[in-house]
Chain A
Amino acid sequence: MTTPTPNSDGHRPSDILSTLKRLGFGAVVAVPDSWLGEILIRIEQEPTMTLIRATHEEEALAIACGVRLGGVRVALMVQNAGVLSMGAGMVSLAQRYQFPLLMLVSYRGTLDDPVFYHLPKGRATEPVFRGIGLNYARSDRHRPIGPQIENAATCAEEGSCPFALLLSREDIQW
């Protein structure tokens, strides 16, 4: 199902970007947080990719649906708080129309997140995901991240649905 990420030097954010490029992702739609900030700049510099910076995560979700409707493979990069605030669009647009969307989500409010005010969002994240029927997985920091990205993208496409991969700071912060 997966192939190794070429030229991986163990830098997980680099592996995420190279995997997206290899899989033909032509666009990323994002609302940044402190972990996502630098990788978004790198994506912006990629000649084969378009970065769209949205003002709100539900808006970002709809932009991503439009990009995919137009035939371009697209990833959504947001914080977990952003997924909490896109619930209506998730169920009535992305899931209802069965858009395959790869969602790369910074998982704030976990035990290894030093910022205390993210804790309430961390506590609510997975119960809310389950409640709205959003397919998801947590990344495994002990395994290479590239194949995990590819598996999540495959689940989105072959399940015809959004699929969220919850990422740790080591995964996504450049």
Chain B
Amino acid sequence: MVTNARPTRAEYYKALADNLPAQALVVTSLGNASYLWAALHHTPENFYFEDAMGLTLPLALGLAVAQPKRRVIAMEGDGALLMHLGSLVTIGAVNPSNLTILLIQNGVHGASGGQALTNATLDLAALARASGISHAENLSQPDSLGERMSSKLRRDGVDVLVLATEPDLEVVRPPVSLDPVGTKQRFMAAIGAPRYVPTLFGGGMLAQT
């Protein structure tokens, strides 16, 4: 049967999980972007957004700057991106080569029930390129994502992959607690982030433990 249906988020996520680069740090947006990734590939090196719509990309940028030896992969939706389009400009200006951005383009605000976007058919890859990001393209097949993620080719600068996706409005139940503080502490412990030593103990600084 011939179908024009776009792939699902789950199909892209499976392609990503099967081809995840070693030591990758993954930052996921709110809603199913986080719930489904937790269900498919929970590790301490995932940072799940509970809410804060539109802030996944800037947080991932900061993480990429702080962890230049680790690949940082950010999963964001088209609706959330539209809330902070300026972040593309900042990412293009900083342009860290260890940052890969996966944009789920499903044309709706999925996490809030499927409301229509202001503009559901923007060429987001072209928008990223216009924002100073050299490597940006539209993909419509999970296999293409898998190939890109497993590629040994090291690009100079940020990589943006826009994934044409069917909306997924049924909420996925994550298998683990996504408690925000727990998520942060688990993540920072996993990457060996320096810990703050309180002034009472003669510190007042970050120190490697």
Contacts and interface: CB of A to CB of B under 8 A. Distances in A.
Interface of A: 1, 23-24, 26-27, 29, 50, 52-56, 58-74, 88-89, 92-93, 96-100, 150, 154, 157-158
B199 interface: yes
- Listed from nearest, the 7 A-B pairs whose CB atoms lie closest are A66-B62, A70-B66, A71-B193, A55-B86, A62-B58, A62-B55, A66-B59
A70 B55 CA distance: 16
Contact of B193 (A70, A89, A93, A157): A70
A26 B194 CA distance: 13
Contacts of A93: 49, 51-52, 55, 59
Nearest to B55: A62
Interface stretch (B106-114, B121-129, B156-164, B184-192): B184-192
A34 B148 CA distance: 44
Interface residues of B, number: 41
B191 A71 contact: yes
A24 B90 CA distance: 24
Contact of A58 (B61, B67, B84, B94): B84
A62 B52 contact: yes
Contacts of B27: 66
A71 B67 contact: yes
A114 B45 CA distance: 49
B62 A69 contact: yes
8 contacts: A50-B65, A55-B86, A65-B55, A66-B66, A69-B62, A92-B52, A98-B180, A154-B204
Contacts of A59: 55, 58, 84, 86-87, 90
Contacts of A89: 52, 55
Interface of B: 27, 47, 49-52, 55-56, 58-67, 84, 86-87, 89-90, 93-94, 180-181, 183-184, 187-188, 191-194, 196, 198-199, 204-206
B94 A100 contact: no
Nearest to B47: A69
Contacts of A64: 62
B154 to A, nearest CB: 20
A150 B27 CA distance: 31
B155 to A, nearest CB: 20
A69 B82 CA distance: 24
Contacts of A88: 52
Given A70-B191, A96-B180, A1 B199 contact: yes
B175 to A, nearest CB: 21
B15 to A, nearest CB: 25
Contacts of A99: 184
A55 B27 CA distance: 21
A67 B188 CA distance: 11
A99 B59 CA distance: 12
A100 B198 CA distance: 13
Contacts of A92: 50-52
Nearest to B87: A59
Contacts of A96: 50-52, 180
Contacts of A74: 62
B90 to A, nearest CB: 5
Contacts of A157: 196, 198, 204
Contacts of A55: 86-87, 89-90
A27 B62 CA distance: 9
Among the interface residues A27, A61, A71, which one has the most CB atoms of the partner chain B within 10 A?
A: A71
A63 B90 contact: yes
Contact of B65 (A53, A54, A70): A70
